[in-house]
Amino acid sequence: MNKSTMQQTTASLQPNAESVHTTPARPPFSRQSLWRTGSDRWRYLLGVLAGMVLIVTLLLWYVTAGERSLAELAVAGGLAVIAAAALLMGALDVSSWRVRQITAAVERIAAGDLDARVPARGPGDIGALSRAVNGMAERLERQSRKRNRERDRLNTVLHVMNDGVIILNKHGYVSIINPSAARILRVTVDDALNKSFVQVVKDYRLAEVLLACIEENAEHSATYELAGDAYVRIIVTPFLRGAANGYLVLMQDLSHIHRLETVRRDFVSNLSHELRTPLASVKALVDTLRDGALDDPPAAERFLGRMEVEVDEMAQMVQELLELSRIESGQAPLRLFPTAVATLVEPAVERLHAQAERSGLTLSTMLPA
C-alpha cells in the first residue's frame, strides 16, 4: 500500500459531513401533513364525543327511568363528569405514551444502540414519526456496518504491513500505530496510543522530522541509525481533509538492507585480498626471472610453471565467483562432497613459496595423514 492510498483510506474513516446521507425533510405545511393532522384530531375528538354521548345517554336513562332525589341526581352527574374526564385523559395519555416510546427509542439510538426501533402503528403523524425514526436508525446502522468493515480492512492491512505506520492527530498524538512500528520503536501498541510522538519515539532526530513537516506543511524524510544497530527511514506526510487533519508517519526498517551492504563491502574486501595474493606471486616470479633466472633454463622453466599455476588460480577464482552467482540465483545446485585437507592447503603453500623465498622465510605444513 502506498502513501496516497493509506492517506485516502485513513481519511475515509474520519468524520466527514459529505459522507453522511440525509433524506429531505417533509414540508411541514403540505396538504398531506395537514390532512393527517386533522385526521388524528378528528379521530381523538370522535372517540371522546362517542364516549360523552354514551355517558349522557346513560345519565338521561338513569334520570328518566324513575323518580330520583336531588342527591341521587348529583351523584349521577358527578360520576358522569368523572367518567368524561377519565375518558378524555385516557385519550390524551395514549397519544403521550406513543410520544414517550419515540423519545425513549431516540435516546437509545443517540446512546449508540442502533437496534432500537419504535412500534410503527397508525396512519397519522405519530405513526409517520415512528416510521421516520425507524428509517433513520436503519440508515445509521447501515453506515455503521460499512464504517466498521472499512476499519477492519484498514486494521488488516496495517497488521500485515512490514513498514511501520503511525497516524497522528493534528496535535501530534498517536491515533493509530501498527505492530511493525511498535516493533521498530520497541514499544507496545497499547502504551503508544494517545501519547505524543516525541514520547513514543524517544529520539530527538525523529521528532525533528515531524517538526519540519509541521512548520513547512510538506513531506519530510530522513534515515537514521537507532539503538540496537537498527537503520530506519522515516517519512512524515501531512494530510488535510475536514476533521481528519493529521500526519501520516511511515517507518521503513532498513536494517536488513544495511546488513547486506556490510556483507557486500566485506565480500569486496576479501575478494581484493584473495586477488592480491596470486598477483603478488606472479610479480615476485617475474622479478626473479628478470634478476637472472632466465639464464638458468631449469629455474626459468620452474618459475614459468608457478606463474601458470597462479594464473590458473585466478581463473579458478573467477569461475568460482560465477558459480556463486548462479547458486544465489538458483540456477545451479550446491553440491557437497568430502575432500582431503591437503589438496586445499598444499596449493596455497606452493603459491606463497616464491614470496617466502624472497623474504628469507621457510613455509612448512603439518597436516593429518
CATH of the domain at 337: 1.10.287.130
Contact 358, 286 (CB under 8 A): no
pLDDT of residue 9: 47
Q: Does 259 fall in a domain?
A: no
Nearest to 210 by CA among 169, 243, 164, 150: 169
- Residue type for position 362: T
Rounded CA-CA distance 214/221 in Å is 13
DSSP letter at 196?
B
Q: How many CB atoms within 10 Å of residue 118?
A: 23
Distance between start and end Cα atoms, the chain:
62
pLDDT of residue 345: 84
Same domain, yes or no: 228 and 336: no
**61 or 14, greater pLDDT:** 61
Same domain, yes or no: 77 and 215: no
67 phi, psi to nearest 5 deg: -75, 125
Q: Does position 3 have pLDDT exceeding 60, yes or no? A: no
277 band by pLDDT with thresholds 50, 70 and 90: confident
Same domain, yes or no: 113 and 16: yes
Same domain, yes or no: 83 and 179: no
Same domain, yes or no: 129 and 14: yes
Q: Does 364 fall in a domain?
A: no
Over residues 291-312, mean pLDDT:
79
Q: How many CB atoms within 10 Å of residue 354?
A: 22
Q: Does 81 fall in a domain?
A: yes
**367 or 74, greater pLDDT:** 367
Q: Does position 185 have pLDDT exceeding 80, yes or no? A: yes
Range in 97-106, 169-178, 225-234, 258-267 the model is least confident about = 97-106
Question: Which one of 224, 253, 282 terminates a domain?
Answer: 253
Over residues 215-229, mean pLDDT:
86
Rounded CA-CA distance 64/87 in Å is 24
Q: Does 321 fall in a domain?
A: yes
Same domain, yes or no: 198 and 216: yes
Q: Does 71 fall in a domain?
A: yes
Global pTM reads: 0.49
Domain interval for residue 275: 267-358
Rounded CA-CA distance 24/239 in Å is 32
C-alpha cell at 97: 405514551
Domain at 173, CATH number: 3.30.450.20
Same domain, yes or no: 123 and 172: no
Same domain, yes or no: 7 and 147: yes
Contact 196, 172 (CB under 8 A): yes
C-alpha cell at 345: 592447503
pLDDT of residue 354: 72
Same domain, yes or no: 327 and 220: no
Same domain, yes or no: 22 and 137: yes
Nearest to 195 by CA among 209, 181, 212, 215: 181
Number of domains in the chain: 3
Query: Cα–chain-centroid distance for residue 105?
Result: 35
Question: Which one of 253, 279, 306 terminates a domain?
Answer: 253
In this predicted model, what pLDDT tens digit does every residue of 109-126 receive, in sequence order?
Answer: 888 888 888 876 666 677
pLDDT of residue 18: 36
Helix (H) or strand (E) holding 249: strand 246-253
Over residues 150-177, mean pLDDT:
87
Q: How many CB atoms within 10 Å of residue 252?
A: 18
Rounded CA-CA distance 274/281 in Å is 12
Q: Which long-range contacts (CB under 8 A, 24 or more apart) does 86-93 make?
A: 87/48, 87/51, 87/52, 87/55, 88/48, 91/44, 91/47, 91/48
DSSP letter at 241?
-
Query: Cα–chain-centroid distance for residue 186?
Result: 18
C-alpha cell at 50: 362517542
Same domain, yes or no: 174 and 117: no
| Percent of residues, the chain, with pLDDT higher than 90 | 12
Q: Does position 248 have pLDDT exceeding 80, yes or no? A: yes
